[in-house]
């Protein structure tokens, strides 16, 4: 009981909750990953969609590990370098918000019948899509450092906790997309303005996180 009290003293739960909410909002916002899951599920069924989801989520573990050990070392060495990383993160997220603002709000679904792939092949497709995408690594570097939630816990441990929370939110949202693909695609076709609402939600989330990163302390 005493150890649980000590943990609650060193962990900033509002920061963790803010990170989880931000992760969920980003997972819901239309992007290449969730659109890919949706199209695979529509074309090849829920099982194929879920295999893709597991591959994408597994890839996040690689990026989490690279960032945890690399950025943790930077934090140990220099406050100035860590501030530079957070400033870069805020600027990069503002850039992403601008790119979303300039993009087309429509959500294009490729429903054409394609040769079905085995679940294992789709898993590796999702995994390699994630791991080999440098934009994912840059995003992790921009997103995670501002959400360190404890001055006492090891930073590597904190980054892994953040990574698993991010993976959990992606698994929950992407898995729901895979299982509800038919209903989601029908809704998107019937409600053309949904893309506009999701676009502005994504812009607000990016800008909000950028401002938070810029104002947050180490």
For 115-126, the pLDDT digits (tens) are 567 889 999 999
SS (H, E, C) the chain: CHHHHHHHHHCCHHHHHHHHHHHHHHHHCCCHHHHHHHHHHHHHCHHHHHHHHHHHHHHHHHHHHHHHHHHHHHHHHCHHHHHHHHHHHHHHHHHHHHHHHHCCCCCCCCCCCCCCCCHHHHHHHHHHHHHCCHHHHHHHHHHCHHHCCCCCCCHHHHHHHHHHHHHHHHHHHHHHHHHCHHHHHHHHHHCCCHHHHHHHHHHHHHHHHHHHHHHCCC
Q: Which has more confidence, 8 or 141?
A: 141
Low-confidence winner among 29-38, 121-130, 155-164, 189-198 (lowest mean pLDDT): 189-198
Residue-level pLDDT at 1: 46
Reported pTM:
0.86
For 8-61, the pLDDT digits (tens) are 557 899 999 999 999 998 898 878 888 899 988 888 889 999 999 999 999 999
Residue-level pLDDT at 163: 96
Question: Which candidate, 132, 169, 176, 131, places its Cα nearest to that of 41?
Answer: 176
| Domain residue ranges in the chain | 29-106+116-215
- What band does 6 get if pLDDT is binned at 50, 70 and 90? very low
């Amino acid at each position: 009981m005493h150890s649980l009290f000590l943990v609650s003293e060193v962990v900033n739960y509002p920061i963790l909750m803010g990170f989880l909410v931000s992760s969920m909002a980003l997972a819901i916002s239309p992007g290449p990953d969730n659109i890919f899951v949706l199209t695979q599920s529509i074309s090849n069924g829920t099982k194929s969609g879920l295999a893709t989801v597991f591959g994408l989520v597994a890839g996040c573990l690689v990026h989490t590990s690279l960032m945890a050990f690399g950025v943790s070392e930077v934090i140990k060495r220099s406050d100035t370098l860590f501030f530079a990383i957070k400033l870069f993160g805020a600027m990069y997220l503002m850039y992403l918000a601008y790119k979303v603002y300039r993009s087309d709000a429509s959500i294009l679904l490729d429903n054409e019948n394609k040769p079905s792939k085995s679940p294992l092949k789709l898993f590796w497709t999702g995994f390699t899509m994630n791991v080999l995408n440098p934009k994912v690594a840059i995003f992790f570097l921009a997103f995670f450092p501002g959400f360190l939630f404890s001055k006492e816990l090891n930073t590597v441990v904190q980054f892994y906790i953040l990574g698993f929370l991010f993976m959990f939110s992606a698994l929950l949202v992407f898995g729901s997309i895979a299982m509800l693909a038919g209903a989601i695609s029908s809704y998107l076709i019937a409600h053309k303005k949904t893309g506009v609402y999701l676009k502005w939600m994504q812009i607000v989330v990016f800008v909000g996180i950028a401002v938070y990163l810029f104002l947050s302390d180490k």
